[in-house]
Chain A
């Protein structure tokens, strides 16, 4: 039988260290919702999501009660809408966004991802329509999230798309200026996008995925930080072992929830995403883990090394705990969603340049970073290009979720509320990349993409 101290340890993790299952995400293929008429297609999309995910929230809540563990988010990801809409010949896909938003509200999920286009090598007409629709789609809906893949290790970087995304982000910010540029918090630009990611805003259901499946994203930065407190001053070998053991436990919980959700919903289990995802709550911070390793503040010299160790140990511990690991899997560093990152950015101890270095060794990229409202589209594009280059060369997923907060400048704060948190506006290098971005074309794939 399970020992007394093990039971109490689990309860303490849930109660005091914010252990939770961050998300149960149902991936739904919408390929069969294509039609020549956009209204008919939107109706099919709405009906299919409501039919397949109607029980998702209730199932999540039941599991929460039976396991005694919070399942914070229930979400849906769908086939990239550019693929679904291609046959309609429509000049705007905003009606799709509205149908997705209505479906998300009907079934009670808190986000729905997949207003997306994959253009790492080039754009179809439908991709162009989708990207042009993004600002309005995000401004006029609440729960829809959008992502655009602009590069990959195999394809290189589509610099025309990178240029376009700078303008798209600016426009999205302007349309939601009254909400701090909220639309940009729901828009991710990817390199090496993954097709089974359960986390928002970048989730979509790839074309290689089945008709319908459930993924689970685990979390628990607070649990890792707490475990590391017990090994203060010990060498890094001990630190790595401690993180591994903790990640194993957290992930087993995710695997259990995923299997149970899959059998109750009657759809296959997809993957468990082993991610340390912070929330703005105190004691649920990735920055705090790095500081627990001995740094005065996140952003100090040593931060990249600390994050590299953390990211690797989380994967090593988690991979044995789950039958299928996927998604983004690693440590997230969204600035506005992590109390420690917010504090360091506000105090000028954490800069965009340091964050960029950190994205070389963690799971995603420059995430939830507010920059001054007068930052130019070219500068945003150039930051995206830098991130995409890191992803392309290092065979990893990178992303940029940048918010040029309208009317705000360095020192101001943008409050998005809830899980999206509070972003201090961070300074951006003022030198112009205008001519660099004007070139367009493609940055060729690196030599090591030729593996066959």
Chain B
């Protein structure tokens, strides 16, 4: 299953490292990354493959959310279906 991970918050050193580290520990493969920094605000969008994720996807989403809160960022993992449903006919 593919999912979209978004990371939004104030820029700082090591954001990508922390997130990708957590993903790799759970067997999640990163397929694509794009990021921008606008007026100190960091926005990263990742397309990931979570089909070999070692924990249920809902749990991965919670782990990422908690890790985000520790860094003062908002991190979300949502199934790609959500965006396809909303933006593609």
Contact = CB atoms under 8 A, between A and B. Distances in A.
A67 interface: yes
B76 A11 contact: yes
Given A7-B45, A66-B57, A66-B61, A2 B80 contact: yes
B76 A68 contact: yes
B32 to A, nearest CB: 7
Interface string A54-70: 00000001100111110
B4 A256 contact: no
B32 A4 contact: no
B58 interface: yes
B68 to A, nearest CB: 12
A10 B76 contact: no
A421 B2 CA distance: 39
B85 A255 contact: yes
Which of B32, B47, B85 has the most C-beta atoms of chain A within 10 angstroms of its own C-beta? Answer: B85
Contacts of B43: 8
B66 to A, nearest CB: 12
10 contacts: A2-B87, A8-B43, A9-B87, A10-B82, A62-B58, A65-B58, A65-B59, A65-B62, A66-B79, A67-B79
B29 interface: no
Contacts of B82: 10, 67-69, 253, 256
Contact of A66 (B6, B58, B83, B84): B58
B34 interface: yes
Interface of B: 4, 6, 8, 32, 34, 43, 45, 47, 56-59, 61-62, 76-88
Given A4-B45, A7-B4, A65-B58, A256 B85 contact: yes
Interface in A61-115: 61-62, 65-69
A2 B79 contact: no
Interface in A305-342: none
A450 interface: no
A4 B8 CA distance: 13
A253 B62 contact: no
B2 to A, nearest CB: 10
Contact of A253 (B6, B8, B59, B86): B86
A68 B77 contact: yes
A2 B83 contact: yes
Nearest to A252: B85
Nearest to B1: A66
Contact of B78 (A9, A66, A252): A66
Given A66-B61, A68-B76, A249 B6 contact: no
A1 interface: yes
A67 B83 CA distance: 9
A150 B6 CA distance: 51
Contacts of A68: 61, 76-78, 82
A435 interface: no
Contacts of A6: 83, 86-87
Nearest to B2: A1
Contacts of B58: 61-62, 65-66
